[in-house]
Structure 1
């Protein structure tokens, strides 16, 4: 693919992710205009909004997969892997703000990928609990849900918080809580 075609595709995917997260009824023509490309260019590559959304979901899944791989959730110390994961997933969340759960029925293969990524995080949080880094009286699935919510909150409600600071705050909140002991 030519360099300009790669740039155009990237612009369409990122713009589409942002606009569709803000308003799922956004048209392909509006996405093309905002991305600075002709709508025919977008329609040639993505004949329907569903096809564009599927490509956006794949791009987000690809980015998330890279984060999970580089975090070394199995090999690294839990706190180090957690910090690395959070620091790297915040930018992914910001770049690809669409909720991948929207594709569950539309794309079974992509949903299976999402489920595997989720299972990797589940195993990691279970590992943190097994190693005593999480309170024994807190269900593991609660801690996992809190991790998701903390990442989502930092990524979208605090856009000026840089990823390393967000990771510091999230890791401390998840491992130590916010209440006084």
Structure 2
């Protein structure tokens, strides 16, 4: 792919992610205009809004997969792996702000990938519990939901918070809130 074509594709994906997260009914023409490309460029690559949304989901999943791999959720100590995960996933969440729950309707294959990634985090939280880092009176599902909410809060409610600081706060809040602290 030519450099300008790759740049245009990335602009369309990023702009599409942002605008579709704000308003799922955003037109392809509006996305093209905001991305600074001709709408024919968008339609040539993505014939429908659903095709664009599916590409955005796949791109977000690619980034999430990379973060999960780099966090070393199985091998690294829990606090280290958690910090790596949060520091990596916050930028991915900010760059691709689309709600992954919408994906089930838009792209069933992406939903399978999302489920697999979610299972990896479930196993990580279970590992933290098995290692005694989560209090026994806290259900593992509660700890997982709390982790998701903390990450979402860091990524979207505090957009000026840099990823390393966000990771510090999430690790401290999570291990202090559900952990022995």
> The TM-score by the shorter chain falls in which range?
over 0.9
Deviation at 1:103, TM superposition (A): 1.3
* Alignment partner of 1:17 is 2:14: no
Task: Tell me the distance in 1 between the aligned counterparts of 2:93 and 2:111.
Answer: 17
- How far, CA to CA, are the matches of 2:92 and 2:33 in structure 1? 23
Aligned equivalents of 2:106 and 2:96: distance in 1?
18
Aligned partner of 1:146 in structure 2 is: 146
Gaps of 5+ in 2: none
TM superposition shift of 1:25 = 0.8
The structural deviation recorded for 1:107 is 1.8
- Equivalenced residues, count: 179
* Residue aligning to 1:87: 87
1:152 and 1:106 map into 2 onto residues whose CA distance is: 22
In the other structure, the counterpart of 1:57 is: 57
Distance 2:166 2:138 in 1: 23
Q: Deviations over 1:43-86 (max 9, x none)?
A: 00000000000000000000000000000000000000000000
Once residues 37 and 9 of structure 2 are traced to their aligned partners in structure 1, the CA distance between those partners, rounded to angstroms, is 9
Q: Does 1:66 align with 2:66?
A: yes
Residue 112 (1) aligns with residue 112 (2): yes
SS in 1 for 2:97: coil
So what's the TM-score if we normalise by structure 1? 0.97
Paired position in structure 2 for 1:124: 124
Deviations 1:23-43 (Å, cap 9, x if unpaired)? 111101000000000000000
- CA offset digits 1:96-134 (Å, max 9, x no partner): 000111011332211110000000000000000000111
RMSD: 1.1
**1:42 — aligned with what?**
42
5+ long unaligned stretches in structure 1: none
Alpha-carbon distance in structure 2 between the residues aligned to 1:145 and 1:11: 32
Query: How far, CA to CA, are the matches of 1:107 and 1:91 in structure 2?
Result: 23
Q: Secondary structure at the match of 1:105?
A: helix
Secondary structure in structure 1 of the residue aligned to 2:93:
helix
Partner Cα separation in structure 2 for residue 82 and residue 38 of structure 1: 42
Q: Which residue number in structure 1 is paired with residue 174 of structure 2?
A: 174
Residue number in structure 2 paired with 1:3: 3
**Runs in 1 of length 4+ with deviation above 3 angstroms?**
none
TM (norm. structure 2) is 0.97
